Amino acid sequence: MMFNDLISDASKAAPMKIYDWPTGPYPARVRIALAEKKLRSPVEFVPINLWKGEHKKVDFLSKNYSGTLPVLELEGGTFLAECTAITVYLDALEGAPILTGRTPYEKGVIHMMTKRAEIEMLDAISVYFHHATPGLGPDVELYQNQEWGLRQREKALRGMHYFDAVLRKQDFIAGDFFSMADITVIGGFIFAAIVELAIPQECEALLAWFMKMQERESVRQQLEVISNN
């Protein structure tokens, strides 16, 4: 990081606290967005231990009713949950690159492709993990529906083929520039690695895109954090 970046960091945003878990696929989405926006330095990370189910305990549920990570705490004591909401917030602060679009058209397409990346890949893999594998262990996974989990695994594999088809026609998930939608599919790759769900070899455009994504400092750093933990 260059000195100029550090200066703009300090002036840019008030202190923020992020409750997350450093290797989690959803936390990765916000960490990558923070790095892209050069907003990591005003952030203090507070670990919530997923493997101990801390995200399902009363104290954390008062921060986020849905019991998911990450959560951003703003200076006034507001808790902001949901990766898309946090990314929209960060993106609306000053600073390039814009991750959620400039024009109505860009905003619409990026939000659509982000949601689609969740439904068809990232969330589907998450449901597979929590329902059809040991997940976070018997103390945390109090209810599992294996059949539903296995259906979601198949859905995610179909989703990979869909995104491969998208990337045969354009360079990024939502068009011709990097956006929140790419970050969401990267989250899908991170979760796929955790559950050992291989990206099908025939998804050549998708695999080539992921290689290209790793050239970005924001993505490379987060993948290093994950492989070092």
Contacts with a copy of itself, residue ranges (CB under 8 A): 65-66, 72, 74, 78, 80-82, 84-86, 88-90, 92-93, 103-105, 107-112, 115-116, 119-120, 143, 145, 147-148, 151, 162
Q: Is 197 helix (H, G, I), strand (E, B) or coil?
A: coil
CB of 166 to a copy of itself, least distance (A): 9
Which residue pairs, CB below 8 angstroms and at least 24 apart, start in 169-175? 171/209, 172/209, 173/113, 173/117, 173/209, 174/101, 174/106, 174/109, 174/110, 174/112, 174/113, 174/114, 175/106, 175/109, 175/110
Is residue 51 packed enough to be buried (19+ CB in 10 Å), middle (13-18) or exposed (0-12)? Answer: exposed
CB of 3 to a copy of itself, least distance (A): 26
Whether the CA torsion 82, 88, 92, 96 is positive or negative: it is positive
Whether the CA torsion 157, 160, 162, 168 is positive or negative: it is negative
CB of 215 to a copy of itself, least distance (A): 28
Q: Is 64 helix (H, G, I), strand (E, B) or coil?
A: coil
Q: Which is nearer to a copy of itself, 107 or 212 (CB)?
A: 107
Helices (H), 38-145: 58-61, 83-92, 104-117, 123-132
CB of 223 to a copy of itself, least distance (A): 26
